[in-house]
Structure formats: structure tokens, C-alpha cells
Chains A and B, each alone.
Chain A
């Protein structure tokens, strides 16, 4: 650290910069809807509808000479294009029926990292038909159930579809990147996991003090004053599920339950007093589990929610900051892809969702989601400028360039409780870097 300013004996005061914020979470709100017994077919229907319109228009440029037909209209050995939803048949996919039909094994199964198997098979389905896909072009490990594709190929004698080429929905269109003449930072943090035994209060206090400008020298403080927003991307608290077994809580259990939440509230209050703050729910938070997860209830944070800088948001969370488009999740969508497909890095998964134009293709198949009827809110209409994912193993980032000059900054935010790392993103140039608060100074 640079100690020069301290020698001056006099602290320079910096004014925190402001940015214009606009929440775009509305499409993720389920609040007020009545569940009327609908099933999941409708969300698939809506999804296919969005994607089909899109893909159809692309196909005319992609394979202008080919006819687009439905799965049922396939004719043997006739080249054509079909559009539909991918279904991946997986041998190892856990099945709720196993709880009933399989004998309990004496030896507990080792939980595999993911459920891939060489025999996995891809199937394309449209509103009424299904066809098995063949050909070396499609590697089942790269795809998951729920994505929409256009495929060029033909029906084989066996009645399968031999794929010769494939078309994804591709990068969404992007509005022109605004120009910003000055540095403005957004800080991302996720996975505080307050309430777990690995949570280190000192570490997070350091973070809070840093962001609020109570630490560091002039340079540092200058920089922190340029932080216009903090986004907490899920898993702030861990709720001990053992105490929630439906019975009345003992005072002891009550304390166990509410203590971590109070602790978070105290920290958030400090933050909110200094900087605008978005908090998103994650899988461990006291929130519902279906995506989109609904905002954490204000009653959980009586202190922080008193500030108008405190925003409780949905997960996924979408907003606009000085004209920059942000989109992000607390990580479930990417973690689920990791279970049911494979890629070199987590960033690759993130990139795929953009190309598929779908934030969470595995929902509802393996990722719980609300049974929407009219729409599929996870369909990505516009390309964000920043696309972030919380609760990942490590910090990763990349600047992605789309074919139509789209520019997207992808960020994987690591779990803070394990890494002590927060991520700082400069709006001006979309550059970003890690802020390490690891108490272990060696690393």
C-alpha cells in the first residue's frame, strides 16, 4: 500500500461518483401471479416460439436453398432444415423414481462431478414430433436439454436425422456502447456465506471498509470513490436447514437461524450508507428456489433496507447503469450446465448461453424454474455489455466480441468466503480486475 498520503497528515475528501441506474428486473418478477395448475410444456412452447422466429429468419441467409420443415414432415434422404428444442437423453441423469424402484445400496454412491456418459444421445423435438440425431458434428457433451437449434441434414433409413450442419441462435443484437469519459467502477461480490464456518468476518469487514473508503491512501480512496455500485450476486447467508424441520423452533434454534442474517444486515447497512447496493438471492439464501428467484424480503434486513441505496433484486438480475447493460445470475444456470455438459472453462459455458440466446436452457429440465405460461423470461433479447455469474470456483474474465461488433465483458465472480476476492469493473473501458482481501497474505 502506498502510505504517502498519510504522511501529509491531512485526509483529502473524495466525493463518490454517481451513475444513472435503471432496474430491468420486472420480467423476472413472479409476484402476484396465481398458479393455475400449469405444467412445463408451456414454457418450452414459448421458448421454441421465440427461437423459431429468430432461427427461421437466419436460415434464409444460412441455407437459402433448403426448405425448413417440421419433424413430422421429414422424408427419407431429402436434405432439409429442421428447427426445434434439443433433448438430451442421459443415462446417468438422476431420476426421482430411483427413490422408489431401486433398492437402497449398501455402499453409498460416489457423487460424480457431472452426469455425462458416452451413450448420451441428442434428440430434436418440435411441437409435435421428435427425431434422434446422428452424425459426428454434434457432440452430445457440448449440448444440453432445452436449447433451440436449426439443423441441416436428412432423415436416414432408420428414421434418425443425420446432421450435416447446425445453426445456433447466435449473439443477440447490442445497442451501441455508450462512451464514458471517466472511470466509474462497479464492484461484484458473491458467496459471502455468512453463517457457514468458513465465513471470515474480518475479511468482509475489510471489503466493506475498502469500498466505503475507510482504508488505504489517497490513490486508493480516489479509486474507491469511483465505485458507483456494489452488486452482491447471491449466497450472502447460509440458512441452517437442519433447524427448519417444520417444528416449532426452540429459542436456541431461533438464534441459529437469525444470527447470520443479522450479521449480514449490519454489514450491508455499512455498505448501503456509502454506496448503492444490489443484493441478489442465491441458492443458499432465504429465498425461493425456482428461477427467477424473487428478491430477498426487506424484513430480513431491517437496517440496510432503510436506505434508499439498498436494492433487493431478482436472480437473474438485469439493469442499466449509465446506459451500460448488465445481466447476471447467482450462478445456478452455469453450475447446472457444468453438471449436464462439459467445457474447458466456466467462461465457455457463459459464452454458450449467449450464443444460444438463453440464460438458463436447462431450466426447467434439471434446474427448477417457475412454470411460465406466456413467456420465457430467460430468452436473451439484447446482448448485455456486462454478463456476470456469481459463486464460481475462481475469478475468470474475458472480453467477447460478437460478429456484429457486440462487446461483452464476461465475469465469473468467485465465492468470497473461500477466495476473499471481489471483482472491480471499469465502465469506461469494460476492463476489470480482482480485489483480493484474502487474510492469508501469502497468496
Chain B
């Protein structure tokens, strides 16, 4: 029997994304040798993907002839053909057909390929050239692929002093020769197409002169930018000037981005191709309805405002592939067949998918509302899928099937599989975190194979699961409004949507910077990669936290967008930075220079307005507008768009600071970032000082104010008053007063009062949040254990409950009692096992881990027990820590929760007490309770211990079972059955206890099992789900076991 399976869940928005170099599907895949985790976003020193163009030649991407033939043959199959016709996009109107109308479409993806330059549009050029492809959808829902010709890759170098326009042609020739030497294999007729002298200015440092000569170097193909840059950086000989090394400018801009910037195209905006300016392509190579050629200079790009802020009705495919794998191995395309593919297609903006289908290997019973297609061969499934998809999606499944440099084998199955992989995007990864919340069902590997090998009924069940899985990403997408947020982010920052998914933060800032710089005739030097990533600068200040439990209202003063405000207020930018040397030379008057607390100098805006401040101003003004519109907006779609926009704007504004501080980023400038943080520190200190000086009894206030804590952009003040209302009044007064002392637009705002407030340490606090004096809004916590996966649920529950009791019920002793009860329950083995499960992902096999880890060891042990059900790489491994021989390491004491349940294995309650509960609880209680450790973890409640007796241990095999009295556990004879003579009198009481226990179990059993029925969506079929990520999985199992025991217990009380 084969076991093991992979489930790939993917989601492909309309346009086929660029060939993602990452393999991003559900589990990471060692099979592909590329378990590349996505780099975390929002990290200042993030590692960027190398910004590298990759030339892809058109011919290579075309399908082999016979493969396409096969797909066609399949499509001729009547049944399939009729289905395909159903999925067709709306037919083109005559004016489209006759090319007599503008093609107006929302572009969703832009990439480029290398092809022969278009003779008709560009009669002057020949040889290979980069052709941009813009994919999109018109408002009628037609798919569009627009080939844009004539846009050439280029970059700048500064013109060496003494070089005159006459020297250019010599320079050009030298460069051409050097390029030919280093690109011998290339057959391009000319590498360097043109060298022009232009007047530009570098963005770096404040300069008094207007512009300087720069050389604009235009090359034949995008990849040549990099090789040409290399040659120039290393230096070349120039006649009369000797060897020169060049600093290149804007040589790290991706070709598509360059194109977008120069044509004012932002991600996901609307583009007009005027009638008469485009021609239908001769040989259609995509499945798009409209496929045209045009010149880049003829495109009209619309600013995404008003009419053009809408979304086209593009289609979203969400799919799930099931394959049958082999025992204990991650399925590999060469061995393991794909057995089912479920597809759902939704129109953007509509709630329900309009196409649902499942393609299965072997027959499958029908499913209501779903188109079931069965095939006998795996190959046919894959071909049909591709074929179908070709029609459904505007995109380009076949052309989009771009070679993946890591995988060279190209038999049909494989490449198609790869194609599936290619389309899985980051969304699925981000989404996975959410799956648990969405109550994802999991069918175990071995069950998948069994279901597949059964009959058409069992395969139908599998198909239902498959469909459900396919629907999940879609639902997730809707729920989190990914589409709106991403499109808005793309529009704001100007990068293609695919960049947002595949690349980090800095490309977004770079895109904005480049656009702005272009307007100002500035060029950006390519100085990336200089930092080692080691340079650091002092970060944000955190004021000393005066820890404790505050039972008086604490007012919080917040700086609104602190870092962006600082950059604007002090005109901090690349182009306003003064080097000490320049400062001396230029001899500027002191009043036009700002010296920052970190010791750097920037000129004031009268001399030179900074670009970064300008970008920030625009972003924040736009955000203000979006927020105002949001208030006005009535319909939910409009709201979603606007909310997406304001969020995108906020994130963008905040990432500008990070961009300047990213030492291995695109354009690091630590002078800016350290100035920003130093100002930030100063402001926090300043605020503290002012508050404590002004609000005193000497100045006729009731109490002396005290700043108890301050963090990056907020300051917590205890004014000493006892009502929320009074604290709010003072908070407002303080915010206004202190704001007045800052340079605009830095502003201190008063937003909220915490009351009561539990300050545990730096970055850790909890409190009730009041924004109006009548009623608190919520409980706010920061840095306190909540949902971390390597904590068991018990910790989370305890912490939440305690905070609730302390803050809301104001019942500290109740919280203490609650902890004591739980501790006692834990020691008495009365805690529900599911609360004790710890889960960790298995990323590599045991040998690859340097340090022994509990979950890896367990996976190994389980493999020895039963390889078919053992967790595989990529699975999450749940475990509990059990009692074992003294001195055994923690990793040796991990055990499968199911195994523990089935065999009554005792839990190591001491471990949970010390390693899980103690720290987070002491953190909370130490500011409140004297001797918290003593009180909570040592008292009388810890004296009673109880362990279950394992039913599988060696000694139990020799034990003889004998009845004991249900009351006092004394051994009794067979004749007595239930109670010893001594306990007979307490019969009623003891019976009540037993039956109450049974009643409770029954309620739980009912709730758990009906919930699982609900989740699986069927009443008449047994629940198959074995998802260990489900919080009730173990309880459900346990309920079954308890049920059997309870029945036997009750039976002993004969009726």
C-alpha cells in the first residue's frame, strides 16, 4: 500500500506570475532541493533578492509541438469541449474585432521576453530585443496581452571630468569591444546601442550646482546592463584620459520596473492602447482574446483615481492538487501520481466561484454543483487541466510555463507538475497560518491512498475534500481582502503586483524614489552591497519602565507617524545630506543647516527640498484623503478599496525609514536613519521632561505627573488623578502643550487611557484601553504570551484568564486562586490533554539537526513504530512531554499525544509547571504579588499528585485485574460488584458523583462530534479528519475513550 501524500494548495490570480524562483507551496520540498523559506518582511536589515533581470528567449518557452497537439486532441473530446466553451470569456464586440476602438484594460502583470524586434513597428532595428508583455483584463472581462516594443534597457554613468562629447564615440567602441569579449556566446549584432551625454544630478549629498554631464548607456538586452555595469565598475581605458573606474547610476533597476517608471505605469493601473496604434499579433501565442503589438511611446497610462480606481472583473483560480505518495517520503513528481485537481474560479468582486470542477484519476461519483471530470491517465488530467486553464485564465499557462533553472527533466508529467508548483505563491504561505482558524480538515496520507484505490464513491469523498481545500485559499483571500490591499499597495508604490508577493519592502521605496528622482532630473547611484550588514546604529529609545500594577488611569501620548514626521520636519534626505567636507567647502550659513543629535548635517528646505520628505508628504496627504473618503464611503467595495489604500500608504510611509537603514539594501544611508532615531530619542526624553516639569503640584495641579514608561513613539503618563475622565483632560492638555514645542509636522497626540495598567517590563504590558470616559474599548496586551505555537494552549488560556480577572474583574485574589486551581489540576492529571500539546514543524530529518529536538526525536521514534503514520518532513509534529526515567532529556520525553491517550501514559506535570507555566505567569504576577513564586508554585495546592498508570508498561502485563470499591478503592469480591460494605451507606452520594461525571462527558462528546460533522459538511458519513492542528482533535479522541469507560462504570451500578 502506498502512503504519504502532498497537498498543494495554490492560488493564482489572473495573470500568470513571473517564474517564481522560489518554490512556494504548502510544505517545503526537499524533493526539489530548494526549501527556500521566504525572507521575513518588515525587517530592516532584510536580505533582498538580488535585483537581477533574467532574459528569457521566446522560443525556449514555447511548448513542444506534439505536446500541444495532445492537448488539442483532448480538447476535441466532446464532453470536455462543451465544458471548455462554458468557461469562455465574453465574446469580443465587433469594434474590438475590427481594431477600431481603444483597448482600455487593467494591467495585472508585466514581464518581458526576448524576441526578434518587430519589423513593422521598428523598421530601423534588427536582431533580438526585449519585448514587454502586459497582461490584463478589460472592464468587459476580455483578457488582453499587449506586446510593447521599442523600449530599451539603459543606465547612467557619471561623465569623467575632461571627457567631451567628441570622446563618446571612442568610448562607445571600447565598451562594445569589451562587451563582446565577455559575452562571446551571444549573437547580438550590437551590444551597446547608444551612448548619449545627458545633464543630470546625483541624488547623493547636497550640491550647489545645477546639473552635471552624465553618460546614458543604452544596451541591447536587459541582462547586458549588469555585464556592462561590471565592466565599467572595474574600469576601462579611455583614450586621452587613461583608465577610469565608473560609478554607475540606476544600473540595478529591473527592466520592467524601468519601463513602468518611464511610462508612468504603476502596478495594477489602467492602460489605454489607442485605436490605430496597435496591430493584432500575427501568430497568436497566448490564450488571450486580445493580443496586440504596439510601441511603448503610444501607451497611455491612467493615474488610479476616480473612474480608474476600479477593478476589472478578473478571474481568480484557486486549486488544490492531491497526489498519492509513497510511504514516509515526500512525493516526487517522477514517482507519485497526481490523482485529483480541484479548481474554483471566481470573478473578482463576487462572492461565489462561478466554476467549480474536479478532475480525477479514475471514475468518481458526481457532486452537486461541481463539474466532475474523470480520466484514466494521469497525463490526461494534467493536460486537461492546462487546457482548461488556458481558457479560463487570461494568462498564458503555456507560455508562462517557463523553465525553472533547477529542474531540467522535461517529460510531460514533470513539467506540468512544475507548472503547478510555479503558480503557488506566497499567499499560500501567509495563508497557512490561517488555515487552523478556518477549521481545515485533514485527511491522513494513508486514507488518501485508500480512498483513491477504492471505488468511485470513495474517490468522490476525496474529491470533496480536494474541493474544500481549493476553496480555502479563496475564502481566505476574500476574508483578508488580499486582492484589494495588494492592488492598492501596487498602485501606491508603483511596482507590479507580483513584486509585492515575491520581493521585500525596499523595492517599493526604490520604485517611489526612482519616480520622484526622475521628475527632478536626479539619478540614483548603485552603491548597494557595500555594507556588511554589521554596521548598526543606536535604535529607538525605550524609557526605563517603572514596572508595577497601576490602579490609577495612565494616559498615553503618541507621536503620530513619528519617523516620517521627523524626516519631514528636519528635511532629512539623500540630497540634503552635507558631508563634513562639503559643509566646510560650501561655507553655508549656520541657520540654513540642521545638525542632528547624531552629529550629521542636513541643509534646510529653503536651500534644497528633500525628496524623501516630499515622498512622505505625498504619502501622508494621500492617506489623510483616503481616510476622509473612507468615512464618506458607503458601499463595502469602495470601503475595501479605500481601506486597502490607506493601509498601503501607512506601511509605505513607515518603510522609507527602514530603507535608509537597510545596510545591505539598495541605497543605505545611515546618516539619515541614525539621525531619525536620535531625534526620536530626543523627543521622547523631551516629552518626559516637559510633562514632569509642568504637571506638578507647584503649578496647581492636584498631583505630580510621572512618566512611567516610554517606547519608540509613545509615552505613558500617570497624572495621579483617579478618574479616566480627568486623565483624559490632562492628557489632551499635555499633548497640545508639548506639540507646540515641536517642529511641524511632528505632533503628539492623545488617544487613550489605560486603566488599570499592568506594566511588566519593557515592551510587555497589559491594560484596559479607554478611548472615551464611559466605557473601555478592549483589553490591550503587548509582548505577553498568547498564541505562540511552541507554547501549549494551557499557557495561553491561563494568561488570558488571569489578565481578564486582574484587569476587568479587578480580582487579583481570584486570579491567584485560578492559577492555583490550574496548577493543582495539572499535578492531579486533570488537565485536558489537548491543552498540553506542543506543536513544531518538521523541516529536516533527524540527522540534519545539529541539536536534538523533541519533535524530531519523536518523529524518528514514530517512524520506527509505524512508518505509514509517522510525520513526514513538512508536517507539523504535535507532542506532549511525558514522565520518564530520572535524568532523561526533554527531547527523549516527547510523545505522540494519541499514543499517550491510548495508553494512559502519565504526563510530566513538573515539566509543564517549570518550563511552560512558570515564566509567563511570574511575569504577570511579580509586579502585583509579593513572593509570587512561593505563592503560586509552592503552596498547599501543589502537594497532591496523581499519575495515571500506563496500560502498556511491562509490569502491567503481570498485574491481575480485580474489582475495587468505587467509593474507597478497597478490593471487593465479585459478588459486591460496586461498593464495599463500608461504603454501602454512601451509595446515593457516590452514584451522584459517577453519574454527574458521565453526564459531563456525554455533553462534551456530543458537542465535539457534532462539531466535526459540521466541519466536514456531512451528517450521514463518518468523520475522517485527522488534522492534528485542530484544537479539538485530541479531545474528540479522548471523548470516545472516556465514553467507553463511563459506560462500563455505570454498568457496574446494576439497575
Contact = CB atoms under 8 A, between A and B. Distances in A.
Interface of A: 31-37, 39-41, 44-45, 48, 71-74, 85, 87, 95-97, 100-101, 103-104, 106, 125-131, 145-146, 155, 158-160, 239, 241, 244, 246, 249, 254, 257-258, 261-262, 286-290, 294-295, 297-300, 302, 364-369, 371
B430 interface: no
Contacts of A145: 1019
A4 to B, nearest CB: 45
Q: Which 7 A-B residue pairings sit nearest by Cβ, starting from the closest? A: A159-B369, A368-B1006, A289-B999, A100-B1031, A299-B987, A35-B1044, A290-B1002
B1009 A300 contact: no
Contacts of A128: 365, 457, 460, 1020-1021
A239 B1044 contact: no
Given A40-B1013, A96-B1032, A106-B776, A288 B991 contact: no
A286 B996 contact: yes
Interface in B968-1015: 986-989, 991-993, 995-1000, 1002-1003, 1005-1011, 1013-1014
B409 interface: no
Contact of A239 (B830, B996, B1020, B1022): B996
A299 B1054 CA distance: 10
B996 A244 contact: yes
Interface in B488-529: none
Contact of A96 (B367, B1000, B1007): B1007
B368 A159 contact: yes
B126 interface: no
Given A288-B1050, A297-B1055, A299-B987, A239 B992 contact: yes
A290 B1047 CA distance: 12
B538 interface: no
Interface core residue of A129, A239, A366 (most chain B CB under 10 Å)? A129
Nearest to A101: B437
A125 B1009 CA distance: 18
A87 B1013 CA distance: 11
Contacts of B801: 104
Contacts of B190: none
Nearest to B944: A247
Contacts, number: 166
Nearest to A289: B999
Contact of A129 (B367, B800, B986, B992): B367
B793 interface: yes
Nearest to A85: B1019
9 contacts: A41-B1019, A96-B1007, A128-B460, A158-B352, A249-B993, A254-B986, A286-B995, A297-B991, A368-B1003
Given A71-B368, A297-B991, A297-B1053, A48 B778 contact: no
B667 to A, nearest CB: 41
B1021 A41 contact: yes
Contact of A300 (B437, B779, B991): B991
Contacts of B768: 106
B1032 A39 contact: no
| Majority secondary structure of chain A interface residues (helix, strand, loop or mixed) | loop
B790 interface: no
Given A41-B1013, A261-B992, A294-B1050, 11 more contacts: A35-B1044, A41-B1023, A44-B1019, A85-B1019, A85-B1020, A106-B776, A146-B1019, A159-B368, A239-B992, A258-B992, A289-B1000
Contacts of A40: 1009-1010, 1013, 1019
B441 to A, nearest CB: 13
Contacts of B352: 158
A45 B1011 CA distance: 18
A131 B368 contact: yes
Contacts of A146: 1019
Contact of A126 (B460, B776, B993, B1020): B1020
Interface in B454-509: 457, 460
Interface in B334-386: 352, 365-370
| Majority secondary structure of chain B interface residues (helix, strand, loop or mixed) | helix
Nearest to B1007: A96
B1043 interface: yes
Contacts of A290: 1002, 1006
Contacts of B327: none
A117 to B, nearest CB: 16
B599 interface: no
B1017 interface: yes
A100 B438 CA distance: 12
B444 interface: no
B185 to A, nearest CB: 56
A108 to B, nearest CB: 10
B439 interface: yes
B297 to A, nearest CB: 47
Contacts of B1044: 34-37
Nearest to B1013: A40
Given A128-B457, A128-B460, A299-B991, A241 B996 contact: yes
B605 interface: no
A315 B779 CA distance: 45
Contact of B369 (A158, A294, A295, A364): A158
Nearest to A262: B988
A130 B1006 CA distance: 22
A39 B1009 contact: yes
A416 B439 CA distance: 44
A287 B997 CA distance: 10
A262 B352 CA distance: 61
Contact of B1005 (A126, A366, A368): A368
B99 interface: no
Contacts of A72: 365-368
A244 B999 CA distance: 12
Contacts of A261: 988, 992
A52 to B, nearest CB: 11
Nearest to B1031: A100
A130 B1018 contact: yes
B1055 to A, nearest CB: 6
Interface in B551-610: none
Nearest to A72: B366
A100 B793 contact: yes
B804 interface: yes
Contacts of A371: 1009
B808 interface: yes
Given A128-B1020, A261-B988, A289 B1003 contact: yes
B1040 interface: yes
Contact of A254 (B800, B830, B989, B1009): B989
B993 A244 contact: yes
B991 A96 contact: no
B1011 A96 contact: yes
A418 B1008 CA distance: 34
Nearest to B998: A288
B1051 interface: yes
A332 B804 CA distance: 34
A254 B983 CA distance: 13
Nearest to B371: A159
Contacts of A159: 368-370
A299 B1003 contact: no
B1019 A288 contact: no
A196 to B, nearest CB: 16
Contact of B804 (A104, A129, A286): A104
A41 B1022 contact: yes
A304 to B, nearest CB: 12
B1051 A31 contact: yes
B179 to A, nearest CB: 60
Nearest to A156: B369
A85 B1013 CA distance: 14
Contacts of B460: 128
A127 B1009 CA distance: 18
A65 to B, nearest CB: 24
A87 to B, nearest CB: 6
Interface core residue of A40, A95, A146, A287 (most chain B CB under 10 Å)? A40
Contacts of B1014: 95
